[in-house]
């Protein structure tokens, strides 16, 4: 059933453009402006693609774009789906399978995250070295249920989920951008949509979290199931050490993301040039 849904969505997109993407982009909260820099872009609203969900979160435009970025053929999600919106994990990750079916062999996934590491500041970036999937460890895994070998193996390894060569490329690009601070660390996914309590944030730090958010990990799991190479980048939008006196609001996240969009675009464009 899922395989048929992926095929139907793929065929719809292929009927709109003959482009075969090399890289898939998932643009997180407030980072979707990069999609406007894609050249010769074909834009397809999610509601026109069979079996795609609708993005209901402010800061997520809800459309798929196919075109060129630094002469690399790309497919970009301008807005993603979240577990807390009530979507099943198979629905949430269906676009990753579609983008792989279209031809993309690399996934660059971004998100907005809270900086649990006390050395992180709002506006910094973090390269994902690894992740903790708290919902997944509790049973909410996108690969739950019968496995379809046409997608990938029953037990895909995730010990090296984030591609070493792509991470090195990102480090090299960041080194040429003096206005950009790029940390490396562990991203932890929580289900949301409520922000964490102080006690929860202190617990996350104890177990090795550097940044926390409500997305990304299911998409990475499915990308690896589809044998895609993965690079992950978090924009740190606020400190989240558990000692903060002020409460974080989603508008604050979008404000920081807007201020960082030029630096984010420079980082991604540099990575694309390296891939090209």
Name the maximum alpha-carbon separation found in the chain: 52
Q: How confident is the model at residue 58 (pLDDT cuts 50, 70, 90)?
A: low
Unique residue bearing structure tokens 């676009």: 95
| Residue 29 annotated to the active site | yes
Decide if 112 is catalytic: yes
Query: Pick from 112, 135, 98: which is nearest to 223 by CA?
Result: 98
Q: Which of 37, 43, 141, 250 is catalytic?
A: 250
Catalytic, out of 43, 61, 84, 255:
84
- Give the Cα separation of 104 and 117 in Å (integer): 33
Confidence of residue 57 (pLDDT cuts 50, 70, 90): low
Look at residue 244 in the predicted model and tell me its pLDDT: 82
Active site residue 84: yes
Report how far residue 235's alpha carbon sits from residue 251's, in angstroms, rounded to the nearest whole number.
Answer: 15
Of the candidates 60, 131, 183, 225, the residue annotated as catalytic is 60
Angstrom distance (rounded) from CA 163 to CA 13: 27
Say whether 55 is catalytic. Answer: no
Cα 19-23-29 angle, rounded to 5 deg: 110
From 90, 111, 234, 238, active-site residue: 238
Judge whether 238 counts as a catalytic residue.
yes
In the prediction, which pLDDT does 149 show?
A: 96
Active site residue 15: no
> From CA 110, how far away is CA 116, in angstroms rounded?
17
- Out of 9, 35, 214, 257, pick the active-site residue: 214
If you average pLDDT over residues 225-250, what whole number do you get?
90
CA neighbor of 129 nearest in space, from 230, 248, 269: 230
Tell me which residue of 45, 44, 43 sits closest to 54, measured CA to CA: 45
Cα torsion for 64, 271, 268, 256, to the nearest 10°?
A: 140
Q: Which two tokens stand for residue 212?
A: 């926390």
The mean pLDDT of the chain is 93
Return the pLDDT at 257: 83
What single string gives the DSSP state of each residue in 141-200?
A: -TT-SS--TTT--SS---TT-S-HHHHHHHHHHHHT-TT--EEEEEEEE---SSPPPHHH
HSE-up of residue 60 (Cα within 13 Å, Cβ side)? 22
Give me the domains of the chain, ranges plus CATH numbers: 2-275 (3.40.50.1580)
In order of 155, 169, 196, 267, the CA distances from 239 in angstroms are 35, 27, 12, 22
Mean pLDDT score, 99-119: 97
Q: Is 85 a catalytic residue?
A: yes
Q: Which pLDDT belongs to residue 33?
A: 81
Per cent of the chain over pLDDT 90 is 83
- Taking each helix axis from N to C terminus, what angle separates 164-175 and 250-275, rounded to the nearest 10 degrees? 100
The candidate with the shortest Cα–Cα distance to 184, out of 127, 132, 267, 122, is: 127
Q: Give the pair of three-digit tokens for residue 208.
A: 């090795």
Q: Which of 215, 234, 240, 257 is catalytic?
A: 215
- Among residues 112, 133, 257, 272, the one annotated as catalytic is 112
Catalytic residue among 9, 24, 29, 46: 29
Predicted TM-score of the model (pTM): 0.94
């Amino acid at each position: 059933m899922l395989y048929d849904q992926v095929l139907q969505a793929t065929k719809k997109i292929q009927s709109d453009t003959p482009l075969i993407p090399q890289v898939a982009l998932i643009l997180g909260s407030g980072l979707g402006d990069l999609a406007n820099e894609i050249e010769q872009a074909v834009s397809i609203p999610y509601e026109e693609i069979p079996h795609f969900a609708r993005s209901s979160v402010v800061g997520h435009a809800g459309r798929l774009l196919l075109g060129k970025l630094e002469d690399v053929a790309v497919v970009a999600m301008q807005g993603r789906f979240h577990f807390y919106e009530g979507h099943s994990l198979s629905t949430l990750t269906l676009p990753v399978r579609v983008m792989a079916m279209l031809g993309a062999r690399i996934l660059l996934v971004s998100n907005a995250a809270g900086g649990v590491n006390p050395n992180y500041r709002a506006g910094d970036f973090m390269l994902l070295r690894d992740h903790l999937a708290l919902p997944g460890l509790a049973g909410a895994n996108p690969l739950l249920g019968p496995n379809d070998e046409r997608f990938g193996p029953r037990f895909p390894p995730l010990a090296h989920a984030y591609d070493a060569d792509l991470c090195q490329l990102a480090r090299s690009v960041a080194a040429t951008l003096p206005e950009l601070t790029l940390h490396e660390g562990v991203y932890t996914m929580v289900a949301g949509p409520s922000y964490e309590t102080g006690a929860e944030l202190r617990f996350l730090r104890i177990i090795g979290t550097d940044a926390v958010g409500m997305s990304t990990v299911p998409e990475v799991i499915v990308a690896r199931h589809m044998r895609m190479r993965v690079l992950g980048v978090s924009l740190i939008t606020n400190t989240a050490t558990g000692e903060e006196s002020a409460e974080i609001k989603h508008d604050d996240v979008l404000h920081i993301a807007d201020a960082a969009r030029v630096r984010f675009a420079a980082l991604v464009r540099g990575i694309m040039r390296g891939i090209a």
